[in-house]
Amino acid sequence: MTKAAGASLILLASLLGASSAYAQARPNQVGTAGEAPVSYVVKPGDTLIGLGRAYLNKPGDYRVVQKTNRVQQPTRLRPGSQLNIDPNLLKSTPIAASLSAFTGPVFIETNGQRAPARVGMALTEGQVLITGANAFATFELEDASRVTLPSNTRVRIAKLRQVLINNAPQRVFQLDQGRGTISATPTTNPAGRFEVRTPVSVSAVRGTEFRVGADGDKAQTEVLKGAVGVDPGAVASANPPVPAGFGVAATASGVSAPIKLLPAPKLGAGGQNQGDKTVHFAIEPLTGAAKYRLQLSRDAGFVDIFAEATTKEPAADFGEVANGTYFVRLTALDGGGLEGFPADYSFDRDLDTLDAGAPASTSEGGRRKFLFRWSSAGDGVRVYRFQLFNEGGKVALVDQPGLSEPQVTLTDLPPGAYAWRVVAVRFKNGVATEKVGALQTLQIGK
């Protein structure tokens, strides 16, 4: 892990003042570096020995708590006083999490052993989620918090437990590389933690929606909801929080000033009806955008993402996609790589193509035969109309409707310049739609 000399970067994201609550919990740290101690308010009748039996992994570790908090007698505690306890000493129960969707090569690494992902599989503390090229994965926690990972991302589940002494959920994820979009369900427990760590930053949230990216010794955080306080040290200060709609870039030496995120782009005309051979989207150019990112999902919540493209041009082609109703999410990236607000659109994929082939001529019995072929794709039944025009496409020399096969043969066409096209009428679900093919030119010699 890369760190600045003697310091790390803390990003505090929260809703409704939770960042200040987190800041209050950070002084007088004990235990693992960068982890806040768990605060416990002494109740009447409590003793360190009794607390050790009930809440510590090793009952004898009450002596560690005694030393840290400078308690004179372990059997005599003052009600209302506060104990700071190393979280690694405390008993806990696992928090349930499961893989809700994935596409492409996704693996779960357990104790160094990789296994292919399975939808619905339980995820546990210590496991690593790895997405390969053109792969996507989403996992959800029992409180409905969600983490979505795009291609080429590696995340380790550092902690996924609920501490018994204060019923505080502890959810810590290490983003070694790649990106993640996080929707954290708000918690009313001030001791609850939801952190996403990178090699140079920690994003600690209490309930918000944000994105984190890690690339070597650089990281960035973009806040869509909530607020983020950014401090280049180990202890949070009273710096003004970064509001929703802003992002920061981080390195081992510190963080940038808050930068306003770009607004959501708009989808170009025709993008919500996809009938061509490949799925293609145009985006209305956005001032300040250096790149555009598009994601395709099978659901409106973008849990089951199956394709992504990042392009400098305001357009992207996703190749062939099966018929169905899908969703596309558009975002714009500024010159520094910060990703702006998303815009989500549904789109219908109903393949309906008509492609003309090159005519072929043959001789039979002294007569020249010209075979015209074309192709179509997509569901439904089609009836074709073939038209042959003189040069310029103004006078119809042949106009043949009612063809059930995608071909027609003409005999003894005289030399000259021609143009031809096919009109297809498709019948599907009781609805007839017409597609007019482009004019194709043809030169016939002697």
Per-residue confidence (pLDDT) for residue 230, from 0 to 100: 56
Average pLDDT over residues 99-114: 96
Residue pair 427/381 in contact (Cβ under 8 Å)? The answer is yes
Average pLDDT over residues 61-69: 94
Asked if 266-349 and 353-444 have one fold, the answer is yes
Of 160-174, 188-202, 221-235, the range with the highest mean pLDDT is 160-174
Gyration radius of the chain over CA positions: 31
Per-residue confidence (pLDDT) for residue 77, from 0 to 100: 93
Buried b (16+ CB within 10 A) or exposed e, 355-366: ebeebeeeeeee
Q: Answer with the residue of higher pLDDT: 144 or 206.
A: 144
Per-residue confidence (pLDDT) for residue 229, from 0 to 100: 60
Segment holding 48, helix H or strand E: helix 48-55
Q: Of the given ranges (46-55, 58-67, 235-244, 325-334), which has the lowest mean pLDDT?
A: 235-244
pLDDT band at 196 (very low <50, low <70, confident <90, very high): confident
Residue 179: beta bridge partners?
213
The CATH superfamily holding the domain 266-349 is Immunoglobulins (2.60.40.10)
Per-residue confidence (pLDDT) for residue 235, from 0 to 100: 38
- Identify the residue whose tokens are 């708590």: 65
Q: Answer with the residue of higher pLDDT: 13 or 365.
A: 365
Given a cut of 60, whether residue 360 has pLDDT beyond it is: yes
pLDDT tens, 84-93? 999 889 999 9
Per-residue confidence (pLDDT) for residue 366, from 0 to 100: 67
Q: Which CATH fold topology does 353-444 show?
A: Immunoglobulin-like (2.60.40)
Q: Of the given ranges (68-77, 132-141, 199-208), which has the lowest mean pLDDT?
A: 199-208
Instruction: From 48, 120, 113, 53, select the one nearest 84 (Cα to Cα).
Output: 48
Average pLDDT over residues 350-354: 88
Average pLDDT over residues 332-347: 94
Q: Answer with the residue of higher pLDDT: 360 or 66.
A: 66
- Using CA atoms, how far residue 110 sits from 89, 126, 129, 156, in Å, is 24, 7, 9, 10
Average pLDDT over residues 136-153: 94
- Identify the residue whose tokens are 């596409």: 103
Per-residue confidence (pLDDT) for residue 438, from 0 to 100: 84
Instruction: From 429, 423, 433, select the one nearest 400 (Cα to Cα).
Output: 423
pLDDT band at 24 (very low <50, low <70, confident <90, very high): very low
- Identify the residue whose tokens are 């008509």: 354
Per-residue confidence (pLDDT) for residue 208, from 0 to 100: 80
Provide the percentage of residues in the chain whose pLDDT is more than 90: 56
pLDDT tens, 229-273? 655 543 344 456 778 999 988 887 888 889 999 999 999 998 999
Instruction: From 435, 300, 314, select the one nearest 380 (Cα to Cα).
Output: 435
Given a cut of 80, whether residue 216 has pLDDT beyond it is: yes
Beta strands in 312-404 (DSSP E): 315-317, 324-333, 343-349, 353-356, 360-364, 367-377, 381-390, 396-403
pTM score of the predicted model: 0.78
Per-residue confidence (pLDDT) for residue 427, from 0 to 100: 92
pLDDT tens, 385-439? 999 998 777 788 999 999 999 898 888 888 888 889 999 999 998 899 998 988 8
Q: Does domain 10-17+92-259 bear CATH number 3.40.50.2300?
A: no
Average pLDDT over residues 12-23: 33
Side chain identity, residue 23? A
Per-residue confidence (pLDDT) for residue 1, from 0 to 100: 32
The CATH superfamily holding the domain 38-85 is LysM domain (3.10.350.10)
State how far the Cα of 129 lies from the Cα of 140, in Å rounded to an integer. Answer: 13
Average pLDDT over residues 370-396: 86
Using left for φ > 0, alpha for ψ between -120 and 50, and beta otherwise, residue 252 falls in alpha
Given a cut of 70, whether residue 27 has pLDDT beyond it is: no
For the chain, the structural domain boundaries read: 10-17+92-259, 38-85, 266-349, 353-444
